[in-house]
């Protein structure tokens, strides 16, 4: 029986964007792949869900490394609008009330 070495993606250490196919699982047999941030499994493929550099650590752990950070509100941030309802209507957009220019500063955090 032939011993197969785990297949490494050709995209490792290169930049990927959402939708890029990282690995085709149809070609792999009996190998465990661990997915980190920025990746998801869609049927027999592993796809990127965020932009950044694809990384690999042994054994077979893939993730997308990026500089995106989560927004944390702070006092004196500029406010463009207030979400007035969290239930989407027929479209995918949420109702938003745009504020006049004199109210465009976050006065305090709740």
Output 95 or 28, whichever has higher pLDDT: 28
Query: Which residue ranges form the domains of the chain, and what is each CATH number?
Result: 15-65 (2.40.50.100), 73-110 (no CATH)
Tell me what the pLDDT averaged over the chain comes to.
73
User: 39-90, pLDDT tens digit by residue?
Assistant: 888 888 899 988 899 998 888 888 888 887 766 565 566 777 777 666 655 5
pLDDT of residue 89: 57
Q: How many helices (H) and strands (E) does the chain have?
A: 0, 9
pLDDT of residue 2: 41
Cβ neighbours around 45 below 10 Å, total: 14
Kindly list the distances between the CA atom of residue 78 and the CA atoms of 11, 105, 107, in Å, as whole numbers in the listed order: 39, 5, 10
pLDDT of residue 38: 85
Tell me how far apart the terminal alpha carbons of the chain are, to the nearest angstrom: 64
Mean pLDDT, range 22-26, rounded to an integer: 86
């Amino acid at each position: 029986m032939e011993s197969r070495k785990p297949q490494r993606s050709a995209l490792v250490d290169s930049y990927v964007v959402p939708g890029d196919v990282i690995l085709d699982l149809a070609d792999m047999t009996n190998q465990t792949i661990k997915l980190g941030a920025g990746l998801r499994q869609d049927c027999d493929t592993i796809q990127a869900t965020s932009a950044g550099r694809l990384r690999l650590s042994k054994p077979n752990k893939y993730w997308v490394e990026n500089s995106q950070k989560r927004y944390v509100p702070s006092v004196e941030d500029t406010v463009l609008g207030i979400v007035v309802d969290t239930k989407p209507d027929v479209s995918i957009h949420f109702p938003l009330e745009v504020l006049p220019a004199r109210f465009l500063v976050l006065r305090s955090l709740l």
